[in-house]
């Protein structure tokens, strides 16, 4: 897909179908995630891939049990999407490393869209950070989770603030 089109057509997707997501496709997406820039080239990211239905269900159920119905849709996505990628960071410098890991997540969801794979970036999982770390046996900072899978239709574009509202050109050229 043309690069600008990938940016324009990426969406947060909350409805997934049953079409299988091949491990090679996930690997391909992660290969692009690790091309992201990082502060001092520390590459502080670490990804845990979960395709096992029972394990995904356990994470979705744990989140729903703790948080109630408020974020149920996110819990459903965790249970229903074909893969859940837990994204961790090795933190040396908090802001720099978190921003770097964020860049890798953006690469991930853009490459996914390029391949026709739907995604959802989920911060809500942080509500069960300790539980998740224990479940997967990783002692790093949990940053986010990303759901990956296929959808029957990508939703339409969500609203954006006007560029004028969020930018300012200082001085004259
Ligand atoms: C850091 C971050 C955390 C997010 N966490 C969640 C989440 O837990 N659940 C969810 O449904 N969407 C989550 N989103 C998706 C946003 O709601 C979404 O990006 C926004 O509404 C704009 O929609 P779009 O991505 O389709 O353009 C998150 C996005 C980001 C960048």
- The CATH number of the domain holding residue 48 is 3.40.109.10
Would 120 be classed as within a structural domain?
yes
pTM above 0.95, yes or no: yes
- The predicted model gives 72-94 an average pLDDT of 96
- For ligand 1, atom 11, which residue shows the shortest CA distance? 74
- The predicted model gives 31-54 an average pLDDT of 98
3 state SS of 138: coil
Would 172 be classed as within a structural domain?
no
Ligand 1 lining (C-beta closer than 6 Å): 11-12, 14, 73-74, 120-124, 144, 158
The whole-angstrom distance between residue 142's C-alpha and the CA centroid of its chain comes to 12
3 state SS of 13: coil
Strand partners, 89: 45, 141
Of all residues in the chain, what percent carry a pLDDT higher than 70?
100
Mean pLDDT of the chain: 97
* Residue 63, pLDDT score: 98
Q: Residue 50: which domain range?
A: 3-166
- The predicted model gives 88-98 an average pLDDT of 94
pLDDT band at 93 (very low <50, low <70, confident <90, very high): confident
Angle between helices 23-33 and 94-114 (to 10 degrees): 140
Would 135 be classed as within a structural domain?
yes
Alpha-carbon span 14 to 119, nearest angstrom: 8
Would 171 be classed as within a structural domain?
no
Pocket test for ligand 1, best of 8, 12, 157 (most atoms within 8 A of CB): 12
- The predicted model gives 35-46 an average pLDDT of 98
- For ligand 1, atom 9, which residue shows the shortest CA distance? 122
- The predicted model gives 115-124 an average pLDDT of 98
The alpha carbon of 20 and the centre of ligand 1 are apart by a number of angstroms equal to 24
Alpha-carbon span 104 to 113, nearest angstrom: 14
Atom of ligand 1 nearest to the CA of 11: 26
Would 56 be classed as within a structural domain?
yes
Q: Is the pLDDT of residue 167 over 90?
A: yes
Would 173 be classed as within a structural domain?
no
pLDDT band at 165 (very low <50, low <70, confident <90, very high): very high
pLDDT band at 92 (very low <50, low <70, confident <90, very high): confident
pLDDT band at 79 (very low <50, low <70, confident <90, very high): very high
Measure the N-to-C terminal CA separation of the chain; round to a whole number of Å: 35
- The predicted model gives 26-50 an average pLDDT of 98
Q: How many separate domains does the chain show?
A: 1
Would 11 be classed as within a structural domain?
yes
Atom of ligand 1 nearest to the CA of 124: 8
């Amino acid at each position: 897909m043309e690069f600008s089109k990938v940016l324009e057509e990426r969406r947060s997707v909350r409805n997934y179908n049953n079409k299988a997501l091949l491990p090679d496709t996930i690997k391909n997406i992660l290969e692009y995630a690790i091309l992201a820039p990082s502060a001092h080239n520390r590459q502080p990211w670490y990804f845990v891939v979960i395709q096992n239905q029972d394990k995904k269900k356990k994470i979705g159920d744990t989140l729903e049990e703790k948080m109630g119905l408020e974020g149920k849709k996110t819990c459903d996505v965790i249970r229903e999407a074909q893969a859940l990628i837990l994204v961790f960071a090795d933190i040396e410098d908090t802001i720099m490393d978190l921003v770097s890991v964020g860049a890798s997540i953006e690469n991930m969801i853009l490459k996914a869209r390029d391949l026709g794979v739907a995604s959802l970036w989920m911060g809500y999982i942080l509500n069960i950070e300790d539980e998740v770390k224990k479940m997967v046996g990783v002692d790093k900072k949990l940053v986010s989770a990303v759901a990956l899978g296929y959808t029957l239709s990508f939703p339409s574009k969500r609203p954006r603030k006007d560029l004028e509202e969020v930018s300012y050109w200082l001085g004259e050229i």
